[in-house]
Amino acid sequence: MTQTDTDTATGTGTGTGTGTGTDTATATAAASGAAATEQFRGRRSSGTPGADTQRVDTLVTELLTATHDIIRRHEVTYEEYNALKAWLIQVGEDGEWPLFLDVWVEHVVEEVAGKTREGSEGTIEGPYYVPDAPALPADATLPMRKDEAGIPLLFQGRVTSVDGSPLSAARVEIWQADGAGYYSQFAPNLPQWNLRGTVIADESGSFRIHTIQPAPYRIPTDGACGSLLTAAGWHPWRPAHLHLKVSAPGHQLVTTQLYFRDGEYVDDDIASAVKPALILDPKPSGSGNDHEVTYDFVLDRA
């Protein structure tokens, strides 16, 4: 596999959870959270219409009612209440609201949003998406460092409409952690667009992406979310995955993640984002230790 040398690029992010690789960069939850919060704020549309007050009243009232019910049923003490208040303040100070919401809440929002979809299954976006990744041709190698750690992976497929027609020039945005569990722009000392790109499918809707097979990684554990994990006795791990946003004119964008069969934490992902239809089964390519896998995307009409 041909690798792209991006060693001289400068990463702009500041940290995420540690993984199983050998990257010695020091990443922190607070720095990662700040970067995720900044990215989210930058992507929000300034033209978002005002909220429906009746809808807000209904949702907030039901949320508070459920909270009150939990307090009464479990006889929550003032010590526990104050611990919760302190923790909520710390989540904000650490900039970890994007992480908390994306790990423990987003999968249900996505489930509701995608319940009428006929095409490919979606799942959560997560906190580490960055728009406007470099455009690449249909047969492309993601930007990466020399000797990027990980098994070389050819990820290929086609993008079609629900009626089977190919979607020429469909956009396949892809991003992933490296072999140590770090995302570019959210960890120090990584090239800015490391393992990120926007692949433009050919006239038949086909794409071939050369990358590396990522490893499982921990969500940040040195901040408020890590404190919750410890207090609840939960593990912090996400299974290895590729992130994708696939789109084409006149069709609905699908945001998804693809996992690896028999991979660690596929059966108990801390973010509850794994679905059977999203599990890949890579095979040896016959070229050294390389793997390859084919996965096709089907988009619903807008």
Asked if 209 contacts 172 with a C-beta cutoff of 8 angstroms, the reply is yes
**Residue 16's pLDDT is what?**
43
CA distance 28 to 186: 9
CB 86 within 8 A of CB 21: no
Q: Is the dihedral of CA 220, 224, 225, 230 positive or negative?
A: positive
For domain 15-42+107-299, the question of CATH label 2.60.130.10 is answered with: yes
pLDDT attached to residue 153: 97
- C-alpha–C-alpha distance, residues 172 and 156, integer Å: 11
The bridge status of strand 139-141 relative to strand 279-280 is: unpaired
Tokens at residue 14, please? Answer: 């500041």
pTM: 0.84
Per-residue pLDDT of the chain in tens (302 residues, 90 and over written 9): 333 333 333 333 333 444 433 344 467 766 777 777 777 777 765 445 567 899 999 999 999 999 999 999 999 999 999 999 999 999 999 999 999 999 999 999 999 999 999 999 999 999 999 999 999 999 999 999 999 999 999 999 999 999 999 999 999 999 999 999 999 999 999 999 999 999 999 999 999 999 999 999 999 899 999 999 999 999 999 999 999 999 999 999 999 999 999 999 999 999 999 999 999 999 998 877 899 999 999 999 99
Contact predicate 265/19, CB 8 Å: no
What is the rounded CA–CA span in Å between residue 97 and residue 102? Answer: 8
pLDDT of residue 287: 78
